[in-house]
Structure 1
Amino acid sequence: MHATNRDISESDLEEFQKEYGKSKIERVVARAVQKNGIAATSEDYEAQKNLVRVFSLELETGKASNQKNSGRCWLFATLNTMRQQYAVKYKVKDFELSENYNSFYDRLEKANHFYESVITTASLPFSNRTVKNLFDFPDDDGGQWANSAALVEKYGVVPKAAMPETFNSEKTSEVSEVLARKLRKDGVSLRKLIAEGKTDKMLETTKKGFLAEIYRILVYAFGEPPVNFDFEYRNDDKQYFNDRNITPKEFFEKYFEWDFADYVCLSNAPDHKLNELYELPSQGYIHTGLQVTFANTMIDSLKTATIAQLKDGEAVWFGSDVGKDSNRKLGVLSAKLYKKSELFDIDLNLSKSDRLRTGDGTVSHAMAIVGVDIVEGTPIKWKVENSWGDKYGEKGYFIMSDDWFEQHVYEVIVKKQYLNENDGKILSKQAIKMDPWDSLA
């Protein structure tokens, strides 16, 4: 039974004030927190002592890329793993693919998916949770690994020089605002046409007209994607090469030995049942491409498969909650970095499962694992290639403790050949459909 008095009373406040004033040390701590902030005051110097940036297994990598003020980490991480293969094979250390090129088609495909979803759900009221979610997030620059895979397979890739960044690709807030308003307005119009009983042909014509306008907005913001281009480069041995009038799909097929169907997303989301396959239909916006699926398993499976792929010379895409227990400037990810529970003398710990189910934990950022330090068969720390430029960490590279991997890494993209027998069996299961607002979304 709920207490009768539901508000904070004056006597409650007096009790709180009296309780706080008992210890002088609390006032000392309060002054430190007020002056320096919670993170700085709770940071544990001891946690950094063993995070030496030396790794027993380390891939050869180039200059860190920079997504700047955009949410394209998922795409940067994918293209960074791909460019690592290219750089080794063709001896071009600091080669970079154009994220702007694939971002253009990402936003166009999301717009089409939005229109199709509006048509599918037109009979449902705006108060329906699925419809509300659809109009709340009509088109942004976030995404999943499977989205980047589908984009590359459909549209290919180009070098950064063939479609360089623009103001809007590096700072996406303005174009995202315009796209969101445009799509919501178009969505209302499509629902109205369906309510009036218009034909499927008219709906299709209307949708294509809307998409043509979206295309124009994207060209203004990002530039027009090249249909073909000339590829010129000089490798690290100073040898000159050129490939004239090549298309983006030809470029991908010629220069990359890459089959996205060989890969799988292993997830460790303990708020979901383990040893099950999950699918997120709401984010699979290219219907003929790879869909967003997760083979949910134990965290040790993610580590083992990651190490196996690194040993074969290939970087690993991973999704994590980068804002937790991290120092952005130093480039340190450690579950022991901050002692906030000790600072406030309050237990602030939540299990990984509870963090996901309550929204405290999210898959907020994607990066690439490019190294690991293994001591007596056990991983101790990991080397991470981020996409925040070279001003953070060690020239853009972060160090991740193994306990941070356990607590805050939720998914890795690895080749199926590295899965153990149990995890391989998950792939043959019927996928469980997840809602658009699922914790892994």
Structure 2
Amino acid sequence: MSPNSAALTTEHFEKFKQTFLSEEKNLLAQNVCSKVDPFEVALSRKRIEETQHIFNTKIDAEGKPVTNQKSSGRCWLFAALNVIRLPVIKHFNLEDFEFSQGYLFFWDKIERCNYFLNNVVETAKRNEPVDGRLVSFLLYDPTCDGGQWDMIVNLINKHGLMPKKNFPESYSCEASARMNQVLKSKLREYAKAIRDLIQKGASDADVQSLVQEQMTNIYRIVAICLGIPNDTFTWNYYDKSKVFHSVGPITPKEFYETHIKPLFNVDDKVCLVTDPRTSNEYGKAYTVDCLGNVVGGRRCIYNNQPVELLLELTAKSIKEGEAVWFGCEVSKRFAGKLGIQDLKIHDFPLVFGVDIQSTMTKADRLLYGESAMTHAMVFTAVHTDDKSEVQKLRVENSWGDDRGEKGYLLMTSEWFKEFTFEVVIDKKFVSDDVLEVFKQEPIVLPAWDPMGTLAC
């Protein structure tokens, strides 16, 4: 086919316009969408009337206050800490409580930058070209805010936890773009220095000496933007009866090991994913090349299972009183103001004459770049019918309390099957045959694989 035969001509444009003008509904849609958010226009009034934020099975008590990650990509940290705080609130008889998201964010930035620089070392030793797909991918976003469950486990096991009152938010916690801009610039500069040194035949000791020198500057930048957490702290609090209590002085790691781990042990939780691409079998373990945040920490391991199992175990966990951390693609078929995730919440054909996200399967969307896990939240309730089939789930988000049902979302089971990719479940709810998959040597997916997308 010649280039000229594929080019759009004046005749094509005229035909497109006449086809558009021949339907008066298009003019009405144009008038409305020129003044209003097109997705708001497409909202189905009927579906809204049918949707109620009511559930017949909830965990004992949800956490307070509703959290807000603001202008940062820390949803994975917020969701994890929102889950962990639930048994803490109950055990200590608290009215409300938050762990310090800024504390884990500080250590993730330090550890993640070191992990990136050591990835530069590793890929240079593999003779990966700087303009090849792998190194180009790593350089594109050397230190984003997003993360995965196994990264949370790495941070907590190494650095522990701290109450928010002992390490509150800073400007760059809530709006991380400027700090990240500085870090990314320096990391790319440092990547070149590392590759140049390795190309000259430097010893491993000399390379690591350079990395440590670079990390001194990285630490300074992060410390200036986020502050430096104290080595020890004292947690003073009132319980619901207004009785004063004090814990400490104590290190963050001791705080986790002594007071939190008996209530919520991150090592007892397992991450299950669902990837329906025919190239990736169910019942297999996968990992992603160069993905992680702590050098020497555990790898991000994906136990691939059918989505129906993820939904079943989520409902089982909630019925047993345990909330569930999960990852999904939050923006698809989502009425943000109303907090509804439902495949029928928008009537796109009525507005645009075509539907979206309807003809491609979940596997197709992964293959064609139309879908990936982008956000982490928490399931706190489930609604089942008289046959115990899941109909909908309640979701605790981290965008403040002015969206959805006072900060909570509603997700239908159909939406779960299409756009949820990952859940974290306690081992006690998972069958032995599924747990056995974690003993496999994982298949390594390329760094750019959509299963390596980080929740932010």
TM-score normalised by L of structure 1: 0.96
Per-residue CA deviations over 1:307-357 (Å, capped at 9, x if unaligned) read 111122211000011111112222222111111133222243222111221
Per-residue CA deviations over 1:200-232 (Å, capped at 9, x if unaligned) read 222111111111111111110100011001111
SS in 2 for 1:286: coil
Kept in 1, the 8 Å contact 2:112–2:292? The answer is no
Note the C-alpha offset of 1:21.
Answer: 2.6
Equivalent of 1:300, from 300, 308, 325?
308
The corresponding residue for 2:104 is 102
Note the C-alpha offset of 1:394.
Answer: 2.1
* CA distance in structure 1 between the aligned counterparts of 2:400 and 2:14, rounded to whole angstroms: 51
The answer to whether structure 1 residue 228 and structure 2 residue 221 are counterparts is no
Note the C-alpha offset of 1:23.
Answer: 2.3
Once the two structures are superposed, the pairs formed by residues 410-425 of structure 1 within 5 Å of their partners are 410-420=421-431, 423-425=434-436
The corresponding residue for 1:374 is 384
* CA distance in structure 2 between the aligned counterparts of 1:93 and 1:211, rounded to whole angstroms: 41
Once the two structures are superposed, the pairs formed by residues 92-171 of structure 1 within 5 Å of their partners are 92-122=94-124, 123-171=127-175
Note the C-alpha offset of 1:404.
Answer: 1.5
SS in 2 for 1:216: helix
The answer to whether structure 1 residue 207 and structure 2 residue 207 are counterparts is no
The corresponding residue for 2:25 is 25
Note the C-alpha offset of 1:162.
Answer: 1.0
Kept in 2, the 8 Å contact 1:281–1:292? The answer is no
Kept in 2, the 8 Å contact 1:74–1:144? The answer is yes
The corresponding residue for 1:194 is 198
SS in 1 for 2:309: helix
Per-residue CA deviations over 1:391-413 (Å, capped at 9, x if unaligned) read 11222111212222111111100
The corresponding residue for 1:182 is 186
Equivalent of 1:395, from 396, 403, 406?
406
The answer to whether structure 1 residue 79 and structure 2 residue 87 are counterparts is no
The corresponding residue for 2:349 is 341
The answer to whether structure 1 residue 361 and structure 2 residue 371 are counterparts is yes
Name which of structure 1's ranges 351-360 and 206-215 shifts more when overlaid on structure 2. 351-360
Note the C-alpha offset of 1:2.
Answer: 6.6
Kept in 1, the 8 Å contact 2:104–2:155? The answer is yes
The answer to whether structure 1 residue 282 and structure 2 residue 302 are counterparts is no
Per-residue CA deviations over 1:234-264 (Å, capped at 9, x if unaligned) read 1112121112210001100122123323222
* CA distance in structure 1 between the aligned counterparts of 2:336 and 2:27, rounded to whole angstroms: 29
Name which of structure 1's ranges 292-301 and 277-286 shifts more when overlaid on structure 2. 277-286
- What is the number of equivalent residue pairs in this alignment? 441
The corresponding residue for 2:362 is 352
Task: Please tell me the residue identity of whatever aligns with 1:94.
Answer: D
Task: Please tell me the residue identity of whatever aligns with 1:357.
Answer: L
SS in 2 for 1:49: helix
Note the C-alpha offset of 1:3.
Answer: 7.4
Name which of structure 1's ranges 397-406 and 343-352 shifts more when overlaid on structure 2. 343-352
Note the C-alpha offset of 1:171.
Answer: 0.4
Q: Describe the shift of the 1:233–1:281 C-alpha distance in structure 2 as closer, same or farther (beyond 3 A).
A: farther
* CA distance in structure 1 between the aligned counterparts of 2:379 and 2:93, rounded to whole angstroms: 21
* CA distance in structure 2 between the aligned counterparts of 1:261 and 1:26, rounded to whole angstroms: 55
Once the two structures are superposed, the pairs formed by residues 214-293 of structure 1 within 5 Å of their partners are 214-256=218-260, 257=262, 258-271=264-277, 272-293=280-301
Unpaired segments of 5 or more residues in structure 2? Answer: none
* CA distance in structure 2 between the aligned counterparts of 1:435 and 1:9, rounded to whole angstroms: 41
* CA distance in structure 2 between the aligned counterparts of 1:126 and 1:200, rounded to whole angstroms: 20
Note the C-alpha offset of 1:174.
Answer: 0.3
Q: Describe the shift of the 1:41–1:180 C-alpha distance in structure 2 as closer, same or farther (beyond 3 A).
A: same
Per-residue CA deviations over 1:114-162 (Å, capped at 9, x if unaligned) read 1111111223221111111111111121111110111000000000011
Per-residue CA deviations over 1:82-140 (Å, capped at 9, x if unaligned) read 00110111111311000101111101111111111111122322111111111111112
* CA distance in structure 2 between the aligned counterparts of 1:329 and 1:24, rounded to whole angstroms: 30
Note the C-alpha offset of 1:4.
Answer: 5.5
Task: Please tell me the residue identity of whatever aligns with 2:290.
Answer: S
* CA distance in structure 1 between the aligned counterparts of 2:97 and 2:39, rounded to whole angstroms: 37
* CA distance in structure 2 between the aligned counterparts of 1:281 and 1:75, rounded to whole angstroms: 22
Note the C-alpha offset of 1:79.
Answer: 0.8
Task: Please tell me the residue identity of whatever aligns with 2:130.
Answer: F
Kept in 2, the 8 Å contact 1:175–1:221? The answer is yes
Kept in 2, the 8 Å contact 1:38–1:340? The answer is no
Task: Please tell me the residue identity of whatever aligns with 2:160.
Answer: G
The answer to whether structure 1 residue 409 and structure 2 residue 420 are counterparts is yes
